[in-house]
Amino acid sequence: MISFIDKLKTSISEKNSNLCVGIDIDKKYFNKNVSVDELMDYSFMVVDATKDLAVAYKPNLAFFEEWGSKGFYWLEQLIKEIGNKHIIIADAKRGDIGNTGLHYANAFFNHLNCDAITISPYMGEESIQPFITDLSKGAYVLCRTSNKSSSYIQEDIFSKVISLCDNLNSKENIGLVVGATNDQALEAVRSKTDLPFLIPGIGAQGGDLESVIAINENYMSSTLINISRGIIFADSKDYSSVKTSAKNYLNQMRAVNG
C-alpha cells in the first residue's frame, strides 16, 4: 500500500507538475436547459484535455449535490474517468465528529475511492481523526482560506489549526488549505509548518502565482496549486481552450519554480 504522501510527492515529481484542476462545473456557464448528461460530458472533456498536465483533480461536491442522485452518479462516473493515476481530492469541507465522521470517510475513501478530502477543523481533533486513520488517504484541513471575510475568524485561530494538524500527523497524511489571495497570510502559515499545502485562489480569484511559488519554494515537492474557472471555463469552453489554458498555467509554474 502506497502512502498518501508518497503518492503525492511521486506524482508531482514524475509529472513535473503542481497543477490541481478544480472541477467546479457551474451550470450558470451553460444554457438554462443544460442537462446533467451534458455537464458530465463537459467534465469528461476537461479531464481528457488536462490529464497529461495535471497532477490532481479537485471536484467540488456542491456542483454535483445540487443535482441529487443524478449528480452523485455523475461524480461516481467522473472519478472513474479520472482513474488512479492522479490525486483525487473531494472538495467536500466535511468536519463532523465520531461515528458521523467515520461514515463520511467511508463514503469518500472507500465508495468513491478519493485520495483525499477537504475538512473543517472547527470541532477540534475529533473532526479530523476519522479522516486520517488510513495512511493511504489524506485530509486537507481548512487553515487560511481565500474568501474576503476569512480573517475575521481565522486570523485568531490559524496557529492552533497548524499545531493541531502537526500533532495529529503521525501518518504524514494531513495537509492544509491555504488561499493564494493574501500573501501575508500564506507566508505566515508557511513560516510555522512544513505540511503539504493545497492552494486555491489563482486565476479568477486573483492570486499571484509568482508570489505563491516564492513563498513555497522549498516545499514544492508536496504543494498543489488549484485552478478551477481559469482552466475549465477558458475562452470558448472547448477542448483546445481548456488544454491551452492548463498548459499556460503549468508552464508559468515551471518557469517560476525553475
pLDDT in tens, 86-120: 999 999 999 999 899 999 999 999 999 999 999 99
pLDDT above 80 (res 254): yes
User: How far is Cα 85 from Cα 83, in angstroms, rounded to an integer?
Assistant: 6
Cβ–Cβ under 8 Å, residues 155 and 183: no
* Residues in CB range of 62: below 8 A, 6 or more apart: none
Torsion of the alpha carbons at 24, 25, 31 and 35, rounded to the nearest 10: -140
Helix, coil or strand: residue 195: coil
Domains (range + CATH), the chain? 4-257 (3.20.20.70)
| Distance of alpha carbon 69 from alpha carbon 149, whole angstroms | 33
pTM of the model: 0.96
CA gap 171, 148 in Å, rounded: 33
**Can you tell me which residue has the cell 491555504?**
178
pLDDT at 204: 65
pLDDT at 206 over 80: no
Residue 185: all three cell numbers together: 497570510
Is 93 assigned a catalytic role?
yes
Instruction: Kindly name the residue from 93, 171, 192, 247 that is annotated as catalytic.
Output: 93
Task: Quote the pLDDT of residue 116.
Answer: 98
Total residues found in the chain within this entry: 258
**How confident is the model over 147-198, as pLDDT tens digits?**
888 889 998 999 999 999 999 999 999 999 999 988 999 999 999 999 999 9
Tell me the C-alpha distance between 205 and 22, whole Å. Answer: 13
